[in-house]
Amino acid sequence: MKGDRLLDVRGMLCPMPIVKLSKAIRDAASGEVIEMLADDEGAWQDVPAWAKKTGNEYLGSERADSYSRHFVRKT
């Protein structure tokens, strides 16, 4: 899967990945997919919970080397 916008938050710890994701979603057009790269293990739980809470669509996550990739579509 590939996002329309890439958000690299590797090296940032909670809560900064979600803060940056919130800003990226605000700046995105409806229907755009944000692909977030994170190395904070908390992102595995935080991203789906945040998407549900904000009404955006969580599309999934996957491991990639020493980080993870998370996909969220703006509703």
Q: Is the pLDDT of residue 1 over 90?
A: no
Q: What is the pLDDT of residues 6-48, one digit of tens each?
A: 999 999 999 999 999 999 999 999 999 999 999 999 999 999 9
How many structural domains comprise the chain? 1
Question: How many whole angstroms separate alpha carbon 41 and alpha carbon 5?
Answer: 21
Domain of 9 in residue numbering reads as: 5-73
First to last CA, the chain: 18
- 37 burial (CB, 10 Å; 0-12 / 13-18 / 19+) is middle
Q: Which is the catalytic residue, given 12, 14, 33, 59?
A: 14
2 touches 62 (CB < 8 A): no
Q: Is 43 a catalytic residue?
A: no
pLDDT of res. 33 = 98
| Domain harbouring 32, CATH code | 3.30.110.40
